[in-house]
A = this chain, B = another copy of it.
């Protein structure tokens, strides 16, 4: 039943068609692996995306087939993306920072038929190719002048591949629920699992992202997504920018603060998006060089929580508005946004910063709720913390190939694996990962909150908190510390420092000092490894 309104499927290629027709001259500026700075436009990129689609058809790729990319943010990656989805294919963005075994696993599990990759990854691809079981064609995202002299692979040259193809070929009509993209989670446990994005999810997400209170991307916006396209669709920016006709600035393989700062100034970037690590380096760079980021207006921070001092420095010293965003690969990825609500705008500055430190409010299209271990809904009082559950049209229903089985509860909610609070104004704050939260006497203790405080203690370089078994309380917190070089901070010093900053029953029962704490490929603390190392650790009864 279609009522009496038009059946106009939400296909991702409609985004770039809109940009090409209505904002055709709006620029896409891209740094490349060859060291060039390419200045192109939505109209030109759309035509080349159509050439990609035509080339893939010629190569025998069929709707539903996966075509992988191992590439930085460049105009060619944008063209490939739209071209793959536009011929009905599934654009599988592989994260090149994963361990080699994971890349091999992911490509084979996805059944990728073609791999588009950047010059940076020639050695890697040549090394891994013998282990790829489904890839038939290797396309190097470059021109003939930059093709390697020799290779153990039968490499195709991207520019040669698409030259001569029809830049006006029709897109392939597929239902809006058909897959258009694929991205694997870099899970800390087990094999990575694939999230297959539908056309519909990506288009609805683009609408959500363009809302004034969300990313507020519009025609006048000049957006530089530092966040990579292989990391949860660069938070949807290449889709939202097309819907709005924004100018897109892409830094290719460059993530260093001087290059990003230069591109911001040169291209008059008004908004940019990245993880806190990038901004930490940027603030150090600005401080060291005595420069600023004018005319930058806004920085969107996600991936992990931005420290309060970072938010304050950006806003007070550099006049750049900071906004948290939170989401995950399973959410296309945007879930919440930290923009200030009408009520928050009336608060004193300090209270506004308090809110800006939280992960933000649910976007229309993302339902959020907190539940306890028994599935009972918890109040939005800013104190109760529980499992964060989400529901919406751009949230995963099941993993690719059914991995992990049924992942939604009976009412269709997806468990994010995060533990959070939600305040009465709707601002959500992540307090822990649910597998890391410490369950003491039926109550929950946030490992992250203790860690964040502990690293403020003089002499502490890094801190991790894990739960260890306790005969009476089930679990109690163990604080694991890496001392700063040359420091001789003691357990008593650290505990004394925490005293009064957290509830008494949250105080760690013991402190252990180690030389280093293990990390995942994406820089997160590997709590599993720590729990293995401290398995059987005995606390006083």
Binding site for B on A (CB under 8 A): 1-8, 10, 14-15, 18, 21-23, 25-26, 175, 177-179, 195-198, 200-201, 204, 206-208, 210-213, 216-221, 243-247, 332, 339-343, 345, 361-362, 364-365, 367, 391-400, 408, 412, 414, 426
Docked CA distance A399–B6 (Å): 11
Cβ contact within 8 Å between A5 and B207: no
Smallest CB-CB A-B distances: 10 pairs: A207-B207, A212-B218, A3-B198, A8-B393, A22-B426, A213-B218, A5-B201, A243-B364, A4-B196, A210-B211
Give 19 A-B contacts (CB < 8 Å), ordered by A residue. Answer: A3-B196, A4-B198, A4-B396, A5-B198, A5-B332, A5-B395, A8-B391, A18-B362, A18-B364, A18-B367, A22-B362, A23-B341, A206-B364, A207-B210, A211-B244, A212-B217, A213-B245, A220-B342, A244-B364
Docked CA distance A400–B414 (Å): 39
Whether A343 touches B25, Cβ cut-off 8 Å, given contacts A5-B396, A397-B7, is: yes
Cβ contact within 8 Å between B212 and A216: yes
Chain B residues with Cβ below 8 Å from A400 are 4
Cβ contact within 8 Å between A393 and B6: yes
Of the candidates A213, A332, A361, A365, the one having the most CB atoms from chain B within 10 angstroms of its own CB is A213
Whether A397 touches B6, Cβ cut-off 8 Å, given contacts A177-B1, A212-B216, A426-B21, is: yes
Docked CA distance A506–B1 (Å): 48
Docked CA distance A414–B6 (Å): 10
Docked CA distance A345–B361 (Å): 32
Cβ contact within 8 Å between A2 and B426: no
Docked CA distance A208–B341 (Å): 20
Chain B residues with Cβ below 8 Å from A195 are 4
Docked CA distance A341–B26 (Å): 10
Cβ contact within 8 Å between A3 and B177: yes
Docked CA distance A208–B18 (Å): 13
| 18 further A-B pairs in the complex, CB-CB below 8 A; given A4-B400, A6-B393, A14-B364 | A1-B178, A3-B200, A4-B195, A4-B399, A5-B177, A5-B198, A6-B392, A8-B395, A15-B364, A18-B362, A18-B364, A207-B207, A207-B208, A210-B212, A211-B243, A212-B217, A212-B221, A219-B342
Copies in the complex: 2
Q: In the complex, what residue of chain B is closest to A196 when comparing beta carbons? A: B4
Docked CA distance A2–B340 (Å): 35
Residue in B5, B211, B365, B397 whose CB lies within 8 Å of A211: B211
Q: In the complex, what residue of chain B is closest to A369 when comparing beta carbons? A: B21
Docked CA distance A332–B361 (Å): 28
Q: In the complex, what residue of chain B is closest to A246 when comparing beta carbons? A: B342
Cβ contact within 8 Å between A341 and B219: yes
Cβ contact within 8 Å between A5 and B200: yes
Chain B residues with Cβ below 8 Å from A18 are 362, 364, 367
Q: In the complex, what residue of chain B is closest to A206 when comparing beta carbons? A: B364
Of the candidates A21, A22, A216, A218, the one having the most CB atoms from chain B within 10 angstroms of its own CB is A22
Cβ contact within 8 Å between A341 and B220: yes
Chain B residues with Cβ below 8 Å from A208 are 207
Docked CA distance A285–B243 (Å): 40
Chain B residues with Cβ below 8 Å from A221 are 212
Docked CA distance A30–B332 (Å): 38
Chain B residues with Cβ below 8 Å from A1 are 175, 177-178
Residue in B14, B21, B395 whose CB lies within 8 Å of A6: B395
